[in-house]
Chains A and B, each alone.
Chain A
Amino acid sequence: MLNDTVNSLDLHRAKDITLLEVLDKALNKGVIISGDLIISVADVDLLYVGIRVLLSSIETMESLQGRHIPKRQFK
Chain B
Amino acid sequence: MSIYIYGIIDSNDRIDESIKGLNGIPVSYIPYKDISLVISSFNGDIQDITKIKVLEHEDVLDRLMEKFTVLPFRFRTLYNREEDVVSMLKDFYNDFSEDLGRLRNKAEFDIKVIWSGDKIIEEITSDYDRDRDISAGDESRGKLFMEQAYNKYKIDREFEERANICITVIDNFFSRFASEKKLEKLKSKNLLLDAFYLVDKERQGDFKEAFDSLKASSSDLQYLFSGPWPPYNFVRIEYGKD
Q: A22-B58, A71-B62 are in contact. Are A40 and B52 (CB under 8 A)?
A: no
Contact assessment for B79 and A38 in the assembled complex, using a CB-CB cutoff below 8 Å: yes
Contact assessment for B240 and A39 in the assembled complex, using a CB-CB cutoff below 8 Å: no
Within 22-75 of A, Cβ neighbours of B (below 8 Å) are at 22-23, 25-35, 37-44, 46, 49, 52-54, 56-57, 60, 63-64, 67-75
Does A19 interact with chain B (Cβ within 8 Å)?
yes
A70 to B74, CA, bound (A): 17
Interface size class of B (residues with CB under 8 A): 35 or more
What sequence of 0s and 1s flags, for each residue 38-57 of chain B, a beta carbon within 8 Å of any chain A beta carbon?
00000001100111101101
Contact assessment for A40 and B225 in the assembled complex, using a CB-CB cutoff below 8 Å: no
* A-B pairs under 8 A by CB, number: 149
Identify A57's interface contact among B51, B74, B88, B212, CB under 8 A.
Answer: B51
Identify A30's interface contact among B51, B208, B232, B240, CB under 8 A.
Answer: B232
Note all chain A residues with C-beta closer than 8 A to B88: 33, 37-38
Note all chain B residues with C-beta closer than 8 A to A40: 76-79
**A interface residues, tally (CB under 8 Å):** 44
Note all chain A residues with C-beta closer than 8 A to B74: 26-32
What sequence of 0s and 1s flags, for each residue 200-242 of chain B, a beta carbon within 8 Å of any chain A beta carbon?
0000000010011001000000011111011011010111111
A17 to B229, CA, bound (A): 14
Q: A26-B58, A38-B79 are in contact. Are A31 and B212 (CB under 8 A)?
A: no
Q: A26-B74, A29-B232, A31-B73 are in contact. Are A39 and B50 (CB under 8 A)?
A: no
Contact assessment for B58 and A35 in the assembled complex, using a CB-CB cutoff below 8 Å: no
A47 to B150, CA, bound (A): 37
Note all chain A residues with C-beta closer than 8 A to B71: 30-31
Does B72 interact with chain A (Cβ within 8 Å)?
yes
Contact assessment for A53 and B49 in the assembled complex, using a CB-CB cutoff below 8 Å: yes
Most buried by B among A21, A23, A30: A30
B241 CB to nearest chain A CB (Å)? 5
Note all chain B residues with C-beta closer than 8 A to A72: 226-227, 229
Contact assessment for A27 and B212 in the assembled complex, using a CB-CB cutoff below 8 Å: no
The 7 lowest CB-CB distance pairs between A and B, nearest first, are A29-B232, A26-B75, A30-B74, A34-B240, A25-B232, A30-B72, A37-B84
Can you spell out 21 A-B residue pairs with CB atoms less than 8 angstroms apart?
A21-B110, A22-B54, A23-B51, A25-B72, A27-B75, A29-B232, A29-B235, A30-B74, A30-B230, A31-B7, A31-B71, A31-B73, A31-B237, A32-B77, A34-B241, A38-B77, A40-B79, A53-B54, A63-B52, A67-B52, A72-B226
Chain A residues with a Cβ under 8 A of chain B: 17-19, 21-23, 25-35, 37-44, 46, 49, 52-54, 56-57, 60, 63-64, 67-75
